[in-house]
């Protein structure tokens, strides 16, 4: 094999990394380089430095250390049985690319992942070495996200958490049986054990010692995971129940849903499909309802379709409201926060504004418009001083008002 | 007859705050003041402000954060609008919590637009190296065209982040220079010719390869990265080609027949099984 240039390696190893949905740089510990003795900062809220035509944000330099891999996960572009071109960065190359991109304001930091080479421990040790080089030798204070190898030694995971802002371990598929079928070398029990270890390290290091000193922070931006949607047969209710367990059981910051997407040199065991992007979008909306709107996973599951999936035509909050019309219309001037959050078209921010303004006066229709509520959606579900939906809430065709019109057939 | 107040182009917010406090204390109503940025048009009927004593007044915190952003908006009535709200808050400071009030929602919208402009400047500004890469402090420069007077409020982000290098940011309105840890602002310039930077080519390689042709979603891209920014972003030059070839690339993936696994796959998999037992 001829020696690859840095440019060729970058092409191969970013192409290999693009199926990981996460690129977030939020939630890190705030840092600066104002002292002039290093480079980089973390603002806490994350920045998308560019968008590709797939609408995804580029926040981090998302690359694989190597796409050589000894595993054979059917859905993965880097599986051992694939004929894609292989490459491997040296630690110094990763460090240089990160720093040079960072200095030109292209990125917030590094998201490093890897195929498994030799052994999980060897791979993890190399990744930790890169993070350590960046932090200690180059005084890099930007964001680092390391994809943790679940089978790596606990000691290595602990070290990774000292250099990285975020750790993640992919659960890969929503069910254990899915993992066994499509990622035969991976063990769901081991994946969960590794996630528990990260959670425990983080908790142990957030307590002060008896002297009142805080230990060095462990992965301050927490841990996240990813599930592939549409490769196995799991329905949306199953997926959301898995997410809900992950959020509560392992204190995950985010669960990412990645629509299974065509890959070059795909396996005959998994035919290529058009990636289910709307389904992925609805899952994110439902995920939001679980985390920020006080919804229970079963409430969302019940307002979906009969086969246990989310309604693709309307968003899950609207779907829930349509199934629970007896609770509407809600009096915006009297309802409590919990109920306001359940009104379709009214988000968290609008709820905050409603509550703050309500302390002084009674709200009218135009007030809500100025507060940024989506009244087209909210209208049938609310009453205000000068607005009542009358029979609109109960009309049979309410769903049809929101669902997209059926597309007209075209002559071929 | 009204008073004319010309605010400086640099440190505009502190100057506005200082004079607004004095005006409130002297009980001069908003309609008697003509505000401007820099020494612009002379109003024949305006007169300069008489010296007023320094003063402090208390205002809700949320007004200060609103004013700190809205003051950089390009709407010429921004100083007046802020002063008029301050005037209204003076007898009744709880008014600021009324998010349905027209004056407040208009200023909030302006503040939001400046906030977004600043965020996009933090995101889409691109430095090029213009000095010796081996110098103890490396030197970079960038050109950016904000939609409002956003350079000054955007600067703390850059001084926090790029602390160990020297840099200049040029905009049509003002320029900022950070040298040896000291920041200074000078006049704006026309778009300068910055020397080419080889790292931009690597960045474009990354941009092309991180794109997934099977998930094209143009609206999602352009709503977050409107076309007006593209001309100053090196990677944006690749967007038309990426879009044009996406469909054919996906079709080729689907039509390609499954290949035989490479020989090494069996060997590696067998090795893995042995280790497990």
Q: What token pair was written down for A182?
A: 């499509």
CA angle, B19 then B24 then B26, to 5°: 95
pLDDT recorded at residue A410: 60
CB A258 within 8 A of CB A18: no
Using alpha carbons, select from B5, B67, B77, B72 the residue that is nearest to residue B34. B5
Of A83, A139, A268, the CB nearest to B262: A83
Least confident interval from A233-237, A321-325, B48-52, B97-101 = B48-52
Of A47, A81, A366, the CB nearest to B261: A81
Cβ contacts (< 8 Å) between B62 and chain A: which residues? none
pLDDT recorded at residue B259: 82
Of A53, A72, A357, the CB nearest to B221: A53
Q: How far is CA A256 from CA A94, A172, A247, A276, B271, in A?
A: 25, 10, 12, 14, 33
Does the N-terminal peptide bond of residue A329 adopt cis geometry, omega within 30 degrees of 0?
yes
Put simply, the answer to whether B214 touches A18 (Cβ < 8 Å) is no
Put simply, the answer to whether B206 touches A61 (Cβ < 8 Å) is yes
Put simply, the answer to whether A58 touches B157 (Cβ < 8 Å) is no
Least confident interval from A111-120, B3-12, B37-46 = B37-46
Put simply, the answer to whether A54 touches B217 (Cβ < 8 Å) is yes
Question: Who has greater pLDDT, A208 or A137?
Answer: A137
Put simply, the answer to whether A10 touches B209 (Cβ < 8 Å) is yes
How large is the C-alpha radius of gyration of chain B? 27
Angle of helix B12-25 relative to helix B61-70, nearest 10 degrees, comes to 130
Least confident interval from A217-221, A380-384, B43-47 = B43-47
The predicted model gives A262-279 an average pLDDT of 85
pLDDT recorded at residue B258: 76
* Model confidence pTM above 0.80: yes
Judged by a CB distance cut-off of 8 A, whether residue B130 touches chain A is no
pLDDT recorded at residue B269: 79
Is a pLDDT exceeding 50 seen at residue A407? Answer: yes
Cβ contacts (< 8 Å) between B253 and chain A: which residues? 262-264, 266, 272
pLDDT digits (tens, 9 = 90+) for B60-89: 999 999 999 999 999 999 999 999 999 999
pLDDT digits (tens, 9 = 90+) for A23-47: 788 877 899 999 999 999 999 889 9
Measured CA to CA, the distance from residue B145 to residue B148 in angstroms comes to 9
The predicted model gives A346-362 an average pLDDT of 94
Confidence tier at B213 by pLDDT (50, 70, 90): very high
Closest chain B residue to A43, measured at CA: B157
Scan for tokens 């960045």, then name that residue.
B203
Is a pLDDT exceeding 90 seen at residue B1? Answer: no
In this prediction, does ipTM exceed 0.90? yes
Tell me how close the Cα of B53 comes to any Cα of chain A, in angstroms. Answer: 35
pLDDT recorded at residue A12: 97
Put simply, the answer to whether B100 touches A364 (Cβ < 8 Å) is yes
Judged by a CB distance cut-off of 8 A, whether residue B208 touches chain A is yes
Scan for tokens 């009204």, then name that residue.
B2
Using alpha carbons, select from A263, A316, A255 the residue that is nearest to residue A285. A316
Of A38, A261, A266, the CB nearest to B258: A266
pLDDT digits (tens, 9 = 90+) for B244-268: 999 999 999 888 877 888 888 888 8
Put simply, the answer to whether B214 touches A56 (Cβ < 8 Å) is no
Residues A55, A56, A59, A64, CA torsion sign: negative
pLDDT digits (tens, 9 = 90+) for B144-157: 999 999 999 999 99
Put simply, the answer to whether B200 touches A366 (Cβ < 8 Å) is no
Helix (H) or strand (E) holding A91: helix A91-103
Mean pLDDT of all residues in chain B?
92
Confidence tier at A369 by pLDDT (50, 70, 90): very high
Per-position b or e across A283-293, b if 16+ CB within 10 A of its CB:
bebbbbbbeeb
Confidence tier at A411 by pLDDT (50, 70, 90): low
Tell me how close the Cα of B20 comes to any Cα of chain A, in angstroms. Answer: 26
Percentages of chain A per state (helix, strand, coil), in multiples of 5: 40, 10, 50
SS3 category, A199: helix
Closest chain B residue to A365, measured at CA: B100
Mean pLDDT of all residues in chain A?
92
- DSSP 8-state secondary structure symbol assigned to residue B139: E
The predicted model gives B205-230 an average pLDDT of 95
Using alpha carbons, select from A290, A356, A351, A344 the residue that is nearest to residue A317. A344
Judged by a CB distance cut-off of 8 A, whether residue B238 touches chain A is no
Closest chain B residue to A38, measured at CA: B164
Question: Who has greater pLDDT, A291 or A398?
Answer: A291
CB B243 within 8 A of CB B213: no
Using alpha carbons, select from B161, B162, B166, B169 the residue that is nearest to residue B145. B169
Cβ contacts (< 8 Å) between A264 and chain B: which residues? 253, 256
Tell me how close the Cα of A411 comes to any Cα of chain B, in angstroms. Answer: 22
Q: Which of A44, A106, A273 to mutate to test the interface with B (most CBs of B within 10 A)?
A: A106
Judged by a CB distance cut-off of 8 A, whether residue B182 touches chain A is no
Tell me how close the Cα of B269 comes to any Cα of chain A, in angstroms. Answer: 7
Cβ contacts (< 8 Å) between B199 and chain A: which residues? 100-101, 104
The share of chain A scoring above pLDDT 70, in percent, equals 97
Put simply, the answer to whether A265 touches B256 (Cβ < 8 Å) is yes
Closest chain A residue to B273, measured at CA: A185
pLDDT recorded at residue B277: 43
Which residues between 158 and 177 in chain B have a beta carbon less than 8 angstroms from any beta carbon of chain A?
159-165
pLDDT recorded at residue A26: 83
Count contacts between A and B (CB, < 8 Å): 213
pLDDT digits (tens, 9 = 90+) for A154-207: 999 999 999 999 999 999 999 999 999 999 999 999 999 999 999 999 888 877
Cβ contacts (< 8 Å) between B162 and chain A: which residues? 33, 39, 103, 105
Least confident interval from A397-406, B5-14, B89-98 = A397-406
Is a pLDDT exceeding 70 seen at residue B45? Answer: no
Is a pLDDT exceeding 70 seen at residue B185? Answer: yes
């Amino acid at each position: 094999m001829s020696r690859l240039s840095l440019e060729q390696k970058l092409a191969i190893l970013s192409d290999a990394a693009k199926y990981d949905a996460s690129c977030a740089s939020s939630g890190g510990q705030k840092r600066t380089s104002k002292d002039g003795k290093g480079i980089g900062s973390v603002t806490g809220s994350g920045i998308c430095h560019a968008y590709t035509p797939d609408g995804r944000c580029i926040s981090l330099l998302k690359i694989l250390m190597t796409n050589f891999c000894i595993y054979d996960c059917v859905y993965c572009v880097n599986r051992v049985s694939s004929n894609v071109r292989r490459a491997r960065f040296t630690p110094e190359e990763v460090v240089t690319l990160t720093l040079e991109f960072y200095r030109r304001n292209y990125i917030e930091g590094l998201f490093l992942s890897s195929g498994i080479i030799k052994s999980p421990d060897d791979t993890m040790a190399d990744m930790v070495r890169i993070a350590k080089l960046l932090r200690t030798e180059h005084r890099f204070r930007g964001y680092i996200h390391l994809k943790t190898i679940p089978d790596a030694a606990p000691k290595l995971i602990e070290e990774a958490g000292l250099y990285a802002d975020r750790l993640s371990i992919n659960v890969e598929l929503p069910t254990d049986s899915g993992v066994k079928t499509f990622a035969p070398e991976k063990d769901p029990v081991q994946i969960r054990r590794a996630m528990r270890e990260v959670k425990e390290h983080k908790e142990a290091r957030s307590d002060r010692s008896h002297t009142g000193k805080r230990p060095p922070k462990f992965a301050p931006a927490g841990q996240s995971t990813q599930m592939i949607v549409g490769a196995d047969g799991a329905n949306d209710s199953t997926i959301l129940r898995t997410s809900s367990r992950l959020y509560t059981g392992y204190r995950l910051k985010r669960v990412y849903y990645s629509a299974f997407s065509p890959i070059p040199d795909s396996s005959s065991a998994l035919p290529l499909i058009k990636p289910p992007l709307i389904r992925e979008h609805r899952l994110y909306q439902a995920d939001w309802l679980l985390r920020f709107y006080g919804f229970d996973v079963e409430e969302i599951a019940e307002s979906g379709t009969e086969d246990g999936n989310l309604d693709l035509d309307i968003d899950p909050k609207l779907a829930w409201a349509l199934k629970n019309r007896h609770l509407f219309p809600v009096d915006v001037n009297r309802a409590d926060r919990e109920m306001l959050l359940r009104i379709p078209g009214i988000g968290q921010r609008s709820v905050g504004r409603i509550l703050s303004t309500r302390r002084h006066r009674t709200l009218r229709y135009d007030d809500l418009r100025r507060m940024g509520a989506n009244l087209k959606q909210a209208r049938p579900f609310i009453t205000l001083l000068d607005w009542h939906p009358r029979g609109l809430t109960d009309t049979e065709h309410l769903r049809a008002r929101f669902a997209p019109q059926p597309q007209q057939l075209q002559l071929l | 007859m009204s008073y004319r107040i010309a605010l400086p182009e640099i440190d505009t917010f502190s100057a506005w705050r200082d004079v607004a406090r004095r005006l409130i204390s002297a009980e001069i109503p908003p309609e008697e003041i003509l505000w401007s940025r820099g020494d612009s048009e002379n109003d024949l009927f305006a007169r300069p402000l008489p010296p007023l004593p320094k003063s402090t007044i208390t205002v809700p915190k949320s007004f200060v954060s609103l004013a700190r952003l809205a003051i950089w908006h390009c709407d010429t009535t921004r100083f007046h609008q802020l002063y008029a709200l301050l005037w209204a808050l003076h007898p009744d400071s709880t008014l600021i919590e009324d998010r349905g009030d027209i004056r407040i929602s208009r200023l909030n919208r302006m503040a939001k637009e400046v906030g977004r402009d600043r965020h996009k400047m933090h995101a889409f500004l691109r430095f090029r190296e213009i000095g010796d890469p081996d110098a103890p402090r490396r030197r970079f420069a960038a050109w950016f065209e904000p939609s409002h007077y956003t350079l000054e409020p955007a600067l703390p982000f850059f001084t926090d982040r790029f602390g160990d290098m020297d840099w200049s940011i040029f905009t049509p309105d003002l320029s900022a220079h950070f040298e040896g840890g000291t920041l200074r602002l000078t006049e704006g310039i026309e778009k300068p010719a910055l020397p080419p930077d080889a790292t931009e080519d690597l960045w474009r390689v990354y941009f092309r390869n991180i794109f997934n042709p099977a998930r094209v979603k143009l609206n999602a891209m352009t709503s977050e990265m409107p076309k007006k920014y593209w001309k100053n972003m090196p990677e944006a030059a690749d967007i038309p080609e990426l879009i044009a070839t996406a469909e054919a690339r996906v079709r080729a993936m689907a039509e390609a027949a499954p290949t035989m696994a490479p020989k090494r796959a069996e060997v590696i998999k067998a090795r893995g099984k042995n280790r497990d037992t």
